[in-house]
Structure 1
Amino acid sequence: KQTTDITRKILHNKLFAFENMSNLNPTNNNINSDDFVHIMDVEKTPHPALQVKLTPRHDEIGLLSEKKETVQICTTVKASNLSDENSSRAPVDIVIVLDVSGSMQGEKLNLCKKTLELLLRELRHEDRFGLVSFADQAVLEIPTRKLTESNKQAALSKIKNIRTRGCTNLSGGIGMGAQEMRAVETPNAVRTIFVLTDGHANQGISDPEGILAITAGCLSAKPGNETPITIHTFGYGTDHDHKLLQDISKTTEGGTYYFVDSDSNVASAFGDALGGVFSVVAQNAVLNISVPPGSRLTSVHHDKKSNQVGESCKVNLGDFYAEESRDVLFEVTLAPGSNVDSSNVPVPHAYVGLSYLDTIGIKLVDAESVSACISRPNSTVLSPPNPHVVVQWLRVQATAGMAEADRLSRQGNLEAARAKITSLLSQLRDESAGAGIESDPLIVQLISDLNEVMSGLRDTRTYETYGCYVSSAKHQTHTYQRCADADFSSTNVYRSSTKSRMARKLNQFLD
């Protein structure tokens, strides 16, 4: 679909304001997103990239039932599928920031170079590709440019000649990668940076706070940029700074951290990430939750929520890959008896609106608000809990428990961390069995992942060489409901068909 010239100009010159609807740039909170939507050429669409559904935990709650105060409601945002492999995807700009320090010598670097060659072959002529290597210094190996056949062949030749050298100047690599991305005057709809390293920053700015400040400063939304930049990090082996790499990925909406624990998973990790980049259907997705008079929003279980004011709350969901779903749980007070119609018509308890940039249709979308209604008969009836809401509530509790266990582990209290995971496992088994959802794929994966986290808490050495990486990766996966698994053969309920196909494809070429 094509937009008018006016809409294209608006998107090019004004989109940075839309990006500031997110909570990532607290210095730019003076933009009212509701006012902004009204001045844009916003479209309603019969075939939206994203669809919203609201599900109360209970459909029917009698005025005389045991449940008197609040009820959980789950917002589910589902992304559409791409029409077919690769043909309808948005063009991408991708810059690779590759560690070529001495520790990458041998098979590690060879596999990375082969993976980059495969990645290049998957890119189309309208895509852009750039490569920065870093050791003692950052070096621009391949300027970011569109992949004409001659540019692609030149890039392939350059990759073959990359050699290891020196130490690990991570900040220099990220800074140069961001500079290359910013230098593109008319960027593509999707822009991303891949950072791969196997060690700790020991050259240039090496303290985590400084590196994070540089990353956030380089990649934050700036006037005139058409689309946001995401950063994906790949930690190679068991001697990298997993917390730093995960925090780097969090500086941008939609960034992910991959724990690449073996040589054989390098290609599939890149493939999984590339499959996501190739299937972006929406960006800058923002939920607007509100409640009717007489109700109050009491809590929102999401780390990208705005400050709650009791009546409304915004939640930044970032970008969506095709087929992805995100769930945001929140709680509202039950409508009082004075607000209930004697005819027992379901009563609205919450409204949710959604705005986003459709990257395929190249347009802003302001979706119609949907409501969550609950019947409030004058009786003791309480309908059974909705299975999907129960599953998502268990996911939220599991991710919070993983974070607490990891905090205890980093403090050296492995015994308390193990006790926390044991308690979580018991809770998941008991509550899922009670609700008849013990065979739900997400419950099965949560239990499997918690057991894997537990195996990494055996002792201090196990935690430092394995457990800390697993814990970070599993927590991120379930918090953001996005696959970031380097092993394409593993079972992951969040892995889309595009991610699976690309991870498998790149991995098979290296077999």
Structure 2
Amino acid sequence: MGSKWRKMKKALGLNLCTYLPRTLEEPPSSCLNSAEKLSDAALLSPVNWPMTPTPSSYGLRLSRNSSKSSKTCSICLTKMKEGGGHAIFTAECSHSFHFHCIASNVKHGNQVCPVCRSKWKDIPMQHPMLDLPVLFDRSHNDAAINLARRLHPPRRVMNQGHAPQIQASEPSMFNDDEQLEQLPVIPGKSSSSNDVSDNNRPVRMMDIKIHPEVSAVPRAQSCGNFDVLVHLKAAATVAGHAVSENNQISQYPRAPVDLVTVLDISGSMAGTKLALLKRAMGFVIQNLGSNDRLSVIAFSSTARRLFPLTRMSDTGRQQALQAVNSLVANGGTNIAEGLRKGTKVMEDRREKNPVSSIILLSDGRDTYTMNQPEPNYKLLLPLSMHSNDNKRFQIPVHSFGFGSDHDASLMHSVSEISGGTFSFIESEAVIQDALAQCIGGLLSVAVQELRLEIDGVCPDVRLGSIKAGSYSSVVLDDGRSGIIDVGDLYADEERDFLVSINIPAENAGSETPLLKLRCVYKGPLTKEIVTLESHVLKIQRPEKVGPEVVSIEVDRQRNRFLAAEAMAQARTSAEQGDLSTAASILENCRRVLSETAAAKSRDRFCAALDAELKEMQERMTSRHVYEASGRAYILSGLSSHSWQRATARGGDSIDVSSLVQAYQTPSMAEMLRRSQAMFLGSPSNHRLIQPLLSFTSEPKPR
């Protein structure tokens, strides 16, 4: 021991401290005490996920064995025991770290203290010739390099299986994704509306309902802009099985997911934010299945891939946790580069799981690419992820902006372009809940590439318009038919569209046939194309009609579109600096909604819309308030309503205790429950529990 100690002191005298950090491919060093090694179960336990780094003790020392000194490394959050066989680096700012922890950190370009953010002059870094961590300043020389070679000859790194690897240099092609396991074959063949679910066929995964705004129109009267509500609902699931409308259960395992998370680790994420982000990613990793694959992109001034698309087996989970836990906040915010690498992982992969998605999380603004007066947000995504005539269904980017400094316009635009949602996390404490809700949906995709075809039945019926929010829709030139591209639906997820038609006058007859619908979709696992046809919608044509009551279902969706339109107009006025006009637009919309049939019937959906619009008004009281939270709150609301999908939003003025979320599916709610139960199980985190706010309403009667 004395001989080794003298060599180490000599190395320090040459400003050279040698230690070869363990990579993810290597087993733990045998010199570690068994008490310091975590089992697989411990690594997956929330107790061992990282929390806020704490400053270590002061002083520069490389000590002999001693039982009196015990400090905490601010990077790996484990004890730094003197005499434990590890060099301790104490920076000029007086914060201490394991040398191998800080050397690995600096190797990836971080040159400031992870704790106090001060910039270092003398830093531990990787020597380009030796691939050894060196405490490098101007005085290092060949003699020191030779000494380092003698003390620690280079070691080969063995790759064990398909575990994720933190790579010093990235390949030019991200085609090193882990091979997929063979999924069980589910027999099935194309289905039509006449199919009946039985033991030989998969359960029908879609249901269609049609609601006219009124049930009868006088025979001699013609109607323009007559609204018809089209309601679609994907089948529910129970423990991975599909459940049809008549409660028949069939074996139907969920579709596995390829997920890429693009994480902001810029300097502003230091401290509690990064700790909570790591904890949230730990929750995501823990809840992915062995057939799901994950890759993580971390970005600050630059971006790097932590590991390839890797199956979340026991080994994959453990090493993904280790990779995420090693992240340190530093540098600027280059969202564009993070997205570029995230999409490249998806584009270059050799194999594809049935469901693919990207999650983007940031608390800042892109200071590298989007710094023009009028930035073109489409440049942030490659053309392969833009909607066009040849590619109707893209890989969605679900973005999460939190805090008062994130670029809500950028993140909302990225999600809108790709078909994803934008969530505003006002309190960083609910990062995990927000991600849990999103993951709950992605892990329950029931149908894919859903396309709704609308055909007029009566020769004189013409389609006027289709209100479909952000979904691509078109009315064909002859006005006889229309198409809506819906894409993926989660289990138990619903979609509502309003189709405006004209109804001709009738000379005779007791009813007029109006529309017929056809759904075409793909099963995520079977890949079979399924066609489902509705009944023909007919309307009664008596000589006279008494007082008609407008359908609450139709009126509810009218109100949703009115509110979304008011939000968009208010946002435009606010961006132009006219906050008073923006607030007036929202107030006028609230007044109009209060006079509708749904509001007068005390429809809770309408009441929640009113509360949401009121919340937006209050976030426009000043320019400062709007910049800090108003813009993000409105954009998150627009994203939720236009895609009819649950998003997380800040604020606490909407009472969620007695209302349920309009777009939240049971799978989302279950994953959210798991997230909150995990926090409740940790006594130190009770104060972090806050409700995850989203648009709320009662369950819609059908």
Over 3 Å counting, the alpha-carbon distance change for 1:313 and 1:226 in structure 2 is: closer
- Corresponding position: 1:334 with 2:500: no
Mapped contact 1:129–1:146 kept (Cα < 8 A):
yes
The match for 1:91 among 256, 259, 279 is: 256
Matches within 5 A, 1:25-174: 42-44=190-192, 46=197, 47-64=203-220, 68-84=223-239, 88-174=253-339
What corresponds to 1:464 in structure 2? Answer: 627
Over 3 Å counting, the alpha-carbon distance change for 1:216 and 1:445 in structure 2 is: farther
The TM-score normalised by the length of structure 2 is: 0.63
- The aligned amino acid for 1:53 is K
Mapped contact 2:393–2:449 kept (Cα < 8 A):
no
Q: Aligned to 1:306, what secondary structure does the other structure show?
A: strand
Over 3 Å counting, the alpha-carbon distance change for 1:126 and 1:176 in structure 2 is: same
TM-aligned CA deviation for residue 213 of structure 1: 2.8
- Corresponding position: 1:2 with 2:168: no
TM-aligned CA deviation for residue 115 of structure 1: 0.9
The match for 2:639 among 462, 466, 476 is: 476
TM-aligned CA deviation for residue 226 of structure 1: 13
- The aligned amino acid for 1:277 is L
- The aligned amino acid for 2:630 is G
| Structure number with higher relative contact order (C-alpha < 8 Å, ≥ 6 residues apart) | 1
- The aligned amino acid for 2:224 is E
- Corresponding position: 1:390 with 2:551: no
- Corresponding position: 1:496 with 2:665: yes
- The aligned amino acid for 1:463 is Y
What corresponds to 2:677 in structure 1? Answer: 508
Matches within 5 A, 1:402-441: 402-432=567-597, 436-438=600-602, 440-441=603-604
Mapped contact 2:402–2:425 kept (Cα < 8 A):
yes
Mapped contact 1:335–1:349 kept (Cα < 8 A):
no
Mapped contact 1:189–1:226 kept (Cα < 8 A):
no
What corresponds to 1:12 in structure 2? Answer: none
CA offset digits 1:206-253 (Å, max 9, x no partner): 55755423414243589x999842210010111111111111011223
- Mapped to 1, the partners of 2:191 and 2:482 lie a distance apart of 23
Q: Aligned to 2:548, what secondary structure does the other structure show?
A: coil
With 310-319 and 210-219 compared, the bigger mean Cα shift is at 210-219
Over 3 Å counting, the alpha-carbon distance change for 1:227 and 1:71 in structure 2 is: closer
Gaps (5+ residues) in structure 2?
1-183, 198-202, 242-251, 680-684, 686-702
Over 3 Å counting, the alpha-carbon distance change for 1:160 and 1:406 in structure 2 is: same
Mapped contact 1:178–1:218 kept (Cα < 8 A):
no
With 348-357 and 479-488 compared, the bigger mean Cα shift is at 479-488
Q: Aligned to 2:671, what secondary structure does the other structure show?
A: helix
TM-aligned CA deviation for residue 311 of structure 1: 1.4
The TM-score normalised by the length of structure 1 is: 0.85
More helix by share: 1
- Corresponding position: 1:305 with 2:461: no
- Mapped to 1, the partners of 2:520 and 2:350 lie a distance apart of 26
Mapped contact 1:198–1:235 kept (Cα < 8 A):
yes
Larger radius of gyration: 2
- The aligned amino acid for 2:185 is Q
CA offset digits 1:71-104 (Å, max 9, x no partner): 1100000111112269832111111100111111
CA offset digits 1:154-177 (Å, max 9, x no partner): 111111111112111111111111
CA offset digits 1:26-46 (Å, max 9, x no partner): xxxxxxxxxxxxxxx743354
- Mapped to 2, the partners of 1:121 and 1:413 lie a distance apart of 46
Over 3 Å counting, the alpha-carbon distance change for 1:314 and 1:373 in structure 2 is: same
TM-aligned CA deviation for residue 318 of structure 1: 2.0
TM-aligned CA deviation for residue 358 of structure 1: 2.1
TM-aligned CA deviation for residue 486 of structure 1: 4.9
Mapped contact 1:441–1:493 kept (Cα < 8 A):
no
- The aligned amino acid for 1:133 is A
CA offset digits 1:433-465 (Å, max 9, x no partner): 6x7432x23112111111111111112111111
TM-aligned CA deviation for residue 127 of structure 1: 0.7
Q: Aligned to 1:331, what secondary structure does the other structure show?
A: strand
- Corresponding position: 1:187 with 2:387: no
- Mapped to 2, the partners of 1:437 and 1:324 lie a distance apart of 25
- Mapped to 2, the partners of 1:218 and 1:249 lie a distance apart of 14
TM-aligned CA deviation for residue 56 of structure 1: 0.5
Over 3 Å counting, the alpha-carbon distance change for 1:508 and 1:51 in structure 2 is: same
Q: Aligned to 2:591, what secondary structure does the other structure show?
A: helix
TM-aligned CA deviation for residue 422 of structure 1: 1.0
Matches within 5 A, 1:298-377: 298-303=464-469, 304-309=472-477, 310-338=479-507, 340-341=508-509, 344=510, 346-377=511-542
- Mapped to 2, the partners of 1:140 and 1:68 lie a distance apart of 58
Equivalent pairs counted in the alignment come to 468
- Mapped to 2, the partners of 1:509 and 1:186 lie a distance apart of 34
